[in-house]
Amino acid sequence: MQGSGQVGRCSAQAEIWKSVSEPQTTRLGQTLEQVEKLNHKPFKLKGFDKDRIATVSDWDGGALATLAGDCKPGLSLRADAKAAAEKIGAISADKEYSSSDPAIRATKPTISEILIGY
């Protein structure tokens, strides 16, 4: 089904993918900093939506950009429940941010959903 545009989704406790170049596993609940480490560099994500979710928009050529079989990986990250609403509201869902942006980091997001396009 290569290139079919279908997406697999996981939002329960699970390990989903290991990148081609990185033997570590990406898991639900991992922090933004752990994802950056697995990717070997910062990546881009859209700001938080009304449900406090930010979605990876570009891996910037990092280790997590490539999966076996030409699959396209994606992640959603949820802001920490203790993050102030005004901090989250200041990060627009319509804009793209670097994962290294201090405003994004201040919300302490963790992986809430793993998506694999194929």
Q: For the chain, which residues make up each domain, given as ranges? A: 9-117
Q: Is 69 left (phi over 0), alpha (psi -120 to 50) or beta?
A: left
Q: In the numeric block, which tokens belong to residue 71?
A: 């699959």
Q: Cα separation of 93 and 80, whole Å?
A: 16
pTM assigned to the model: 0.79
What digits encode the pLDDT tens for the residues 51-67? 999 999 999 999 888 77
Q: What is the mean pLDDT of the chain?
A: 83
Supply the DSSP string of 33-55, one letter for each residue. HHHHHHHTS--EEE---TTSEEE
> Is 48 a residue whose pLDDT tops 90?
yes
Other beta carbons less than 10 A from residue 109's beta carbon: 27
